[in-house]
Structure 1
């Protein structure tokens, strides 16, 4: 796997649907742009600040483990 690829998958869509919330509403609650949240939602983010992660988890009433999962297995393991 190339160094710039990752196996972390974001589940904002599922959490928003379960809470009847829109991405725009989440962006307002968290204080981020919809564009930046979309980058995260579409698994194109390269990093997430802990303050952002905390704010998203607070707004969605979830844990980081509900927001992100690690998919697939490493080659050779």
Structure 2
């Protein structure tokens, strides 16, 4: 689901504020992430913790890796 982010405002060094400008796409993405969490929390809480930590750290490579493991 890449390609749906839009930059908002000015960049602050290497930091950008990104938004999903389409409500329908945002809802689909939110629903997908939530369903992945619901399916996998009971199976492997450690993986979910790793996913959340990667999100907080901005480690996009790790997020992508764990996303595919959750599928």
Q: TM-score range by the shorter chain?
A: 0.3 to 0.5
Tell which has more relative contact order, 1 or 2 (C-alpha 8 A, sep 6+): 1
- Answer with 1 or 2: which has the greater Rg: 2
TM-score of the aligned structures, taking structure 2 as reference length: 0.34
Q: Which structure features the higher share of strand residues?
A: 2
TM-score normalised to the size of structure 1? 0.32
Higher helix share: 2
